[in-house]
C-alpha cells in the first residue's frame, strides 16, 4: 500500500508503488511543477511522497478556509531531521508545534506587532541611507551592498550589532552558517531521511548527511552565540541600544527561555530576515531593468510628490501609491518563498470532502496563485499598475472576497513574525533606491551594446533570489547625490550605538 493514494485524499498525479510521487517530485524550483499540476488537478491536490502525504494549496479560497480558518489544525511543521540536528530542535521556522515553539513565538512579540516594529525604524532608515550611499560610491558592487544592508539591518535589530562593511570575519561567519542552512534545507541535497526513517540507522561514518548536519550546527552555534555574547556584554556595561534580544534577555524568566533557546532565536530571525529582504530587493531591481516602463512611472511619481530638494522619510510612503504597487507586484511576480514554508497537519483535518491525515505536509503554492491567468491579466508581465486598478491587482470580475495581499508572508499561526519589520525595510528601500538612481542594463565593453537581463536566471535554494547580474546604476542628479552624502553623515548618530564591540569573533562563547 505504501505510495498509494487513499480514497479520502484529493486527486493528484498517478503514483508508483513504494515511492508514490517521490520519483517525479522536482528537486529544484519545485513550484513550477507544482503549478503545472495545479492547472491539471485543481487548487487542492495531493502527492504521495513514499509513505507520507502532501497536499498543495493553489487558491486564496483554500488558504483562507484551510490555512487561516483551520489554523489550529494546520500549524505544525513536517519532520525535518537535518534541521533538528543543526539547530537542536530549536529553530522556530522548522520546529514542530510544541511548547518550546510557543515560548519562542511569544518572545517574538516585540517584533511581531506593528507597534513593536516601530521601535526599530531609526536603524532601518539609517541602514537604508548607507545602502544608497554605498551605491553612489561603488555602483558595480550592487549585490555586495544589498547583502551587507540586509544582514546588517537584521543583526542591528536583533542583536544590536551592525556591520558597516561586508568584508569582516563576522559577516563571513554569518554567511557560512547561512550557506550551511541552505544545504540543510535544500530538497534533494541529502537522502529523504524524513520519508524513509530507516536510513537513520546507517552509522555516521557512512551517512554523510549526518556529518553535514553536525557541521551546520557548529557553524550556526559559532556565530549566533557570539552575537548573543556581544549583546549580553552590552547589557552588563549598561550600554543598551534597544535591540530585540536585549528585551528578551531582560524578560528571560517571564518568557521561560534558556540561554540556548535565545541563541537559536537570534539565529532564526537572522536567517529568516536577511536573505528574504535581499532576495526581494534583487528581484525588484531586476524587474525595473527588464520592464523600464515601471521604473519610469515610479520616477515620475517620486519627482511629482517628493522632488529633489529633500531626502525621503518613511511617512512619505503613504503618498506614493505607485511605489506601494511596485512592492505588491514584485511579491506577485517573483515571490521570495514561491511555495511557502511547508506546514503540516497537527491532527486529522477535514476540508471539502477530503480527510487530511495527521502529518500531511501542506505546500502553499504562492507562485501558482500569483501566476494564474484566470485571476491576473498577463501574469507573466511585470506591471505594478494592476494594483492601482484594484487592491488585489486582479482582473475585473474576479471574486476577491477571500483575498489578502500578505499571503507572501504565510498563513495562520505560522505567519511570518518579521512581516512588519520587512514591510518597513521594503518601503524605505523602494523609495530611496528609485528616488536616487536610474537602473539600466549593463553595456558590453567590447560592442557597446546593452546586455539584457534574464528574468529567469535564479539561484537554487530555500529563497527565490536572482543569480548576480550586471547592470548600470546612475545617480539621477547631483542635487540628489549631495543629499545622500549629507544624510549619511547625519546617520552616524544612529549608527554609533550599534557599533560598540567588546570582543572578537575568535573568543566564541566557549561556555555554551
Ligand atoms: C520580504 C521579506 C520576508 C518574506 C517574504 C518572508 C516570508 C516568510 C514566510 C513565507 C514564512 C513562512 C510562514 C508560514 O509558514 O506560513 C516566514 C516565516 C518566518 N519568518 Fe519571514 N519573511 C520575510 C522577512 C522576515 C524578517 C525580516 C524576519 C525577522 C525579523 C523573518 C522571520 C521569520 C521567522 C522566524 C519565521 C518562522 C515562523 C514560524 O514558523 O513560526 N522573516 N517568513
| Confidence class for position 452, pLDDT limits 50, 70, 90 | very high
Domain membership of residue 291 (yes or no) is: yes
Number of structural domains found in the chain: 1
Residue whose Cα lies nearest atom 3 of ligand 1: it is 276
Domain membership of residue 75 (yes or no) is: yes
Residue 39's alpha-carbon distances to 4, 334, 374, in angstroms, are 22, 19, 11
| pTM of the predicted structure, to 2 decimals | 0.95
Range of the domain at 103: 22-496
CA pair distance 362, 355, nearest whole angstrom:
13
- The answer, yes or no, to whether any atom of ligand 1 lies below 6 A from the CB of 337, is yes
- The answer, yes or no, to whether any atom of ligand 1 lies below 6 A from the CB of 280, is yes
Domain membership of residue 151 (yes or no) is: yes
Count H helices and E strands in the chain, helices first.
19, 9
Residue 504 has pLDDT above 70, yes or no: no
Distance 255 CA to ligand 1 centre (A): 21
Question: CA 45, 49, 53, 59: dihedral to nearest 10 degrees?
Answer: -30
Closest CA to 269 of 160, 189, 342: 160
Domain membership of residue 503 (yes or no) is: no
Per the annotation, binding residues are 416
Residue 186 has pLDDT above 90, yes or no: no
Residue 385 has pLDDT above 70, yes or no: yes
pLDDT digits (tens, 9 = 90+) for 283-298: 999 999 999 999 999 9
Please report the atom of ligand 1 found closest to the CA of residue 410.
16
| Confidence class for position 506, pLDDT limits 50, 70, 90 | very low
Region 91-118: what's the mean pLDDT?
93
Domain membership of residue 1 (yes or no) is: no
Residue whose Cα lies nearest atom 39 of ligand 1: it is 93
Residue 448 has pLDDT above 60, yes or no: yes
Residue 503 has pLDDT above 70, yes or no: no
Domain membership of residue 219 (yes or no) is: yes
pLDDT digits (tens, 9 = 90+) for 126-177: 999 999 999 999 999 999 999 999 999 999 999 999 999 988 889 989 988 9
Name every residue whose Cβ is closer than 8 Å to that of residue 19 and which is 6 or more positions away in sequence: 3, 48, 50
Residue 426 φ then ψ, to 5°: -65, -45
Domain membership of residue 17 (yes or no) is: no
User: What pLDDT was estimated at residue 219?
Assistant: 93
Distance 494 CA to ligand 1 centre (A): 26
Distance 277 CA to ligand 1 centre (A): 10
Task: Quickly tell me which residue has 489550529 as its cell.
Answer: 72
User: What pLDDT was estimated at residue 509?
Assistant: 33
Domain membership of residue 447 (yes or no) is: yes
Question: Considering the chain, what percentage of its residues have pLDDT values greater than 90?
Answer: 85
Per the annotation, binding residues for heme are 416
pLDDT digits (tens, 9 = 90+) for 316-338: 999 999 999 999 999 999 999 99
Task: Judge if ipTM > 0.95.
Answer: yes
Residue 510 has pLDDT above 50, yes or no: no
Indicate the average pLDDT of the chain.
93
Region 331-358: what's the mean pLDDT?
96
CATH code at position 161: 1.10.630.10
Amino acid at each position: 500500500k505504501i505510495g498509494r493514494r487513499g480514497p479520502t485524499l484529493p486527486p493528484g498525479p498517478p503514483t508508483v508503488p513504494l515511492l508514490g510521487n517521490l520519483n517525479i517530485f522536482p528537486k529544484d524550483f519545485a513550484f513550477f511543477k507544482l503549478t503545472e499540476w495545479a492547472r491539471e488537478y485543481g487548487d487542492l491536490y495531493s502527492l504521495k511522497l513514499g509513505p507520507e502525504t502532501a497536499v498543495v494549496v493553489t487558491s486564496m479560497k483554500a488558504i483562507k478556509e484551510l490555512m487561516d480558518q483551520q489554523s489550529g489544525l494546520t500549524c505544525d511543521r513536517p519532520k525535518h531531521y537535518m534541521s533538528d540536528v543543526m539547530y537542536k530542535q530549536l529553530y522556530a521556522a522548522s520546529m514542530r508545534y510544541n511548547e518550546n515553539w510557543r515560548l519562542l513565538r511569544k518572545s517574538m512579540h516585540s517584533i511581531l506587532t506593528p507597534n513593536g516594529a516601530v521601535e526599530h525604524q531609526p536603524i532601518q532608515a539609517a541602514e537604508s541611507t548607507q545602502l544608497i550611499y554605498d551605491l553612489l560610491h561603488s555602483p558595480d558592487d550592487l549585490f555586495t551592498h544589498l547583502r551587507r544592508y540586509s544582514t546588517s539591518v537584521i543583526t542591528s535589530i536583533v542583536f544590536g550589532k551592525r556591520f558597516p562593511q561586508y568584508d569582516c570575519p563576522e559577516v563571513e561567519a554569518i554567511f557560512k552558517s547561512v550557506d550551511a542552512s541552505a544545504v540543510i534545507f535544500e530538497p534533494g541535497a541529502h537522502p529523504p531521511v524524513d520519508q524513509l526513517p530507516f536510513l537513520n540507522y546507517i552509522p555516521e561514518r557512512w551517512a554523510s548527511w549526518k556529518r553535514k548536519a553536525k557541521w551546520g550546527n557548529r557553524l550556526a552555534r559559532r556565530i549566533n552565540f557570539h552575537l548573543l555574547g556581544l549583546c549580553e556584554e552590552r547589557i552588563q556595561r549598561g550600554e543598551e541600544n534597544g535591540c530585540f534580544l536585549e528585551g528578551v534577555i531582560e524578560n528571560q524568566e517571564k518568557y521561560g527561555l534558556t540561554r540556548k533557546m535565545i541563541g537559536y532565536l537570534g539565529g532564526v530571525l537572522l536567517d529568516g530576515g536577511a536573505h528574504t529582504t535581499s532576495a526581494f530587493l534583487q528581484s525588484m531591481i531586476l524587474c525595473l531593468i527588464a520592464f523600464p516602463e515601471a521604473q519610469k512611472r515610479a520616477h515620475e511619481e517620486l519627482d511629482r510628490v517628493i522632488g529633489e530638494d529633500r531626502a525621503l522619510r518613511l511617512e512619505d510612503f503613504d503618498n506614493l501609491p505607485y511605489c506601494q504597487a511596485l512592492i505588491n507586484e514584485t511579491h506577485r511576480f517573483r515571490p521570495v518563498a514561491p511555495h511557502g514554508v511547508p506546514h503540516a497537519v497537527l491532527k486529522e483535518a477535514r476540508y471539502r470532502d477530503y480527510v487530511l491525515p495527521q502529518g500531511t505536509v501542506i505546500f502553499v503554492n504562492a507562485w501558482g496563485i500569483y501566476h494564474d491567468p484566470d485571476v491576473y491579466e498577463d501574469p507573466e508581465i511585470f506591471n505594478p499598475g494592476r494594483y492601482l486598478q484594484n487592491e488585489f491587482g486582479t482582473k475585473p470580475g474576479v471574486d476577491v472576497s477571500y483575498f489578502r495581499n500578505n499571503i507572501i508572508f504565510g498563513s495562520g499561526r505560522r505567519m511570518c513574525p518579521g512581516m512588519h519589520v520587512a514591510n518597513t525595510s521594503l518601503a524605505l528601500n523602494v523609495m530611496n533606491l528609485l528616488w536616487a538612481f536610474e537602473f539600466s542594463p549593463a553595456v558590453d565593453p567590447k560592442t557597446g551594446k546593452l546586455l539584457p537581463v534574464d528574468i529567469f536566471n535564479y539561484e537554487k535554494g530555500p529563497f527565490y533570489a536572482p543569480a548576480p547580474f550586471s547592470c548600470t546604476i546612475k545617480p539621477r542628479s547631483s542635487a540628489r547625490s549631495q543629499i545622500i552624502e549629507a544624510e549619511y553623515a547625519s546617520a552616524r548618530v544612529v549608527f554609533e550605538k550599534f557599533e560598540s564591540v567588546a570582543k572578537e569573533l575568535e573568543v566564541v562563547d566557549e561556555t555554551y
